[in-house]
Chain A
Amino acid sequence: MSLSSTRPVDSHDASRAPQPRQWPLVQIMLSRLREFYREPEAVFWAYGFPMLMVVGLGIAFRNQPVEHIAVDVQQSPAGERAAEALAKNEKFVVEVNDSEVCRRRLRTAKTAVVVIAEESSAPKYEYLYDPTRPESVLARGAVDDALQRAAGRIDPAATSDVEIDEPGARYVDFLVPGLLGMSLMAGGLWGVGFLTVDMRIRKLLKRLLATPMSKSQFLAGVMLSRLIFMVPEVVLLLIFARLTFGVKVEGSLLAVVGLILLGAVSFAGIGLLVACRAKTLEAVSGLMNLVMLPMWLLSGIFFSPDRFPAAAQPFIKALPLTQLIDALRAVMLEGLPIATQWAPISMLAAWGLVSFILALRLFRWT
């Protein structure tokens, strides 16, 4: 190197020759991907946790036939006879207890129904049950049938039962699209939001702002890398649900993947918006919980949102997670073609796009 050299004649000439184009968007995404898979905890929470949820909830809510009905009979001579009659049917698990124990067991859901038999010439029964508990209502009906028949009732109509337990109609089938939506929401918000605020705290955003990097490319890179993480996450979840519970996709798999990608991008956009000004991790955590809580509760992850009052429905329908889960269920469970889902799709896309544009405008780099 010559000390007297001045710009532009200097040792850098060789390296100033045209170089292969480096795509900043690709580099931003690569950096994000590397940071992600080099963080084992993040990988576990992203990929392992949703699977644990499927296992846990799938087992807890597996659709087993109603095999046993717990019945308590209040102690008395007539009660003993009633208990004997019920015990003939294997599906009843009968216990004879005194009045107080019976009532306590009903209150604490140890038993589904309490039978009080009165001492009289003709059999006469009183049922204690909880009308708000489905199994209590069912038990009351079953016990009544059994006792009526024991007392000599003859059913006038001949009936026969055909049991149907098909994949697609079970709770776990309902649950998997909900969990997919939930992972997409949580992944998008936490992944993008936390990362962004962390980079702001580390003054890395400020450093990047001092480069000629395009801001929209940076934000798009953060969103798109989120999308790439989500693909293995949801594919794993789908395969896992298929292998363990036989959960099938009725409609087009391509449509499901498309919806998942759209969901990932939209929630990443919302994540950016949530994190666009927060200066501490505490602040962004609070905001994210605020944004996610209504969707956790209302968007139908675990049960249908139709149960909420009619007045709340427009609000519930406006939530992006409701739209995503509705569309996923329509395609996965009902096998509807993707074209029928244009309404939720456009709504979800609008959420993502509007959030991204707002985030770009409001974003604080320092």
Chain B
Amino acid sequence: MLPIVSITLFLPLLGALLVMVLRRPPPRVVHAIGITTSGLTLLGAVLMWLRGVNDSGFAQVEQIDWMPSIGAAYRVGVDGISLPLVLLSALLFFITFIYSAKLRERAPAFVVLMLLLETAAIGTFAALDAILFYVFFEISLVSMYFMIAGWGHEDRQRAALMFFIYTLLGSLPLLLAILGLYLGSDPHTFDMRAWIDNPPLAGTAAMWALVAMLFTFAVKTPVFPFHTWLPAAHVQAPTAGSVILAGVMLKFGTYGLVRFSLQMTPDAFHDAGIVILTFGVVAALYGAFAALAQSDLKRLIAYTSVNHMGYVIVGVAIAALALDPTVRTIALDGAVLQMVSHGLVTGALFLLVGMLQDRAHTREMDQFGGLLQLTPVLGWSFMLAAFASLGLPGLAHFPAEFQIFLATLRVEPMAVIVILGIVITAGLYLKAISQVFLGETNDQWSDMKDLNRREILALAPLLILIIAVGIAPSWVLDIIHKTTAALQF
């Protein structure tokens, strides 16, 4: 059997090395390498998808000894929670490479960083060894720092610095928790499967480990009040960086919440369930209200991410609180699907804002107007993505949020107040659409061009998938459900 997981994981790194050894390659060649490698990676991820997952535990596991003296090894594999995220990452990177093919400014360095980031992202989701997980988790930070600092907008240095320091501060408690779990396991190992099967810590120690992990994942997700780095980073990041940051890297937080917090300290998570649920509800509502107050389109979308990731946390917390296994599965199915939907929808939205900014060099909503007549393809695409984002039935977010709310109603009816978030997002998207795309056309933009072929090529797969997940979520849910239904905690 071909080790497809490892091949998929290291293909981008190989591409990065290839770019590095070339002496002063022209941008065309560099972008061709980027698109080809990420395309092959996507192919690998699709093959992984076709191979599927097991009814319980992890599938497609590949391992080699790494540091046997301390029980660390190279272990990768997937289950129904990580596999959709691997596929999502591979897809978003491929699309981002297509979108970025026009970039001329230090193209080789850009492509190398993006490819490094792709390996780090896929590795974070596929790692089954805590050290390996942490290594990929941190590499993604470093690459994103250089991405924002190198290709961002006006105030990029400050934003990049804030992002790096904030998220490093966020990720170090996870290291502490990993060490605690390691020293608690017997025999000492960093094998995440062993930790999931037999949670190594109990009582107060488990609670402390959980608190440390929650801090890490709360910063990463981000949850109010740890979200302040997010708008700054998004506003300053280049479009490619924003797509990856929102589409892929925010999922590190919620994925970690499920994989580490929920699965490795299940009892403590259950005890703290109400608190986590409260954080989720507050994050979702805060994100929606904060988005309502924005005039910058990119900031607006950044804040809706806080809102959508809040729903994921609500779903996970409900799953921990639920006593009825079927309800638990519904909540978790919803939470995982919500991660995938958010990746698709926000990826599309950030791409569209990027395309708009390329043309207008501004993102202030009140500067625009009537763009739907000038750039119908861009306009309708944005409307589709925006409607998906506000949870319209038939589009990607609906099946996910529906399941989360359904489970919430069964377990903690009070928490259903979070549905208010949907009403607010609906309002703010309608406001944004009416300001930017409807109404009087502004003469300033009369020669604005509609999307070109490259841009449509980048956008189309996302829009198609948004509809596909919305209308027939079962093709994703089946894979997710296989694992969530078998989870014991």
Instruction: Answer yes or no: are A and B bound together in one complex.
Output: no
Taking beta carbons and an 8 Å cutoff, which residues of A are in contact with B? Answer: none
